[in-house]
Structure 1
Amino acid sequence: MGKIAGGRRSRSSGDDPAGSDLYGSGGPDEAVAFIAETSRELSKIAERHGLETLRHLLDMTQLEAAQWLRNKRRLS
Structure 2
Amino acid sequence: MAKPGKKRARAASGARAGSRSEEPGEGGVDEAVAFIAEQVGALRKLAERHKLDVLHYLLGMTKLEADEHLRLRSKRKLS
**Greater percentage in helix:** 1
Q: Deviations over 1:2-58 (max 9, x none)?
A: xxxxxxxxx8xxx8534xxxxx81010000000101000000000000100001000
- Pick the aligned partner of 1:17 from 14, 18, 24: 14
Partner of 1:56: 57
In 2, distance between residues paired with 1:65 and 1:36? 6
Partner of 1:72: 73
Aligned-pair identity in percent equals 52
- Number of aligned residue pairs: give it: 58
Give runs of aligned pairs for residues 34-49 of structure 1, distance below 5 A. Answer: 34-49=35-50
- From the CA coordinates, give the structure whose radius of gyration is larger: 2
Write the letter of the residue equivalent to 1:38.
Q
Following TM superposition, the consecutive aligned residue runs of length 4 or more in structure 1 with deviations greater than 2 angstroms are 15-18
In 1, distance between residues paired with 2:40 and 2:13? 24
In 2, distance between residues paired with 1:56 and 1:48? 13
Unaligned runs of 5+ in 1: 1-10, 19-23
In 2, distance between residues paired with 1:72 and 1:57? 23
**Secondary structure, aligned partner of 2:75:** helix
What TM-score do the two structures reach when normalised by structure 2?
0.67
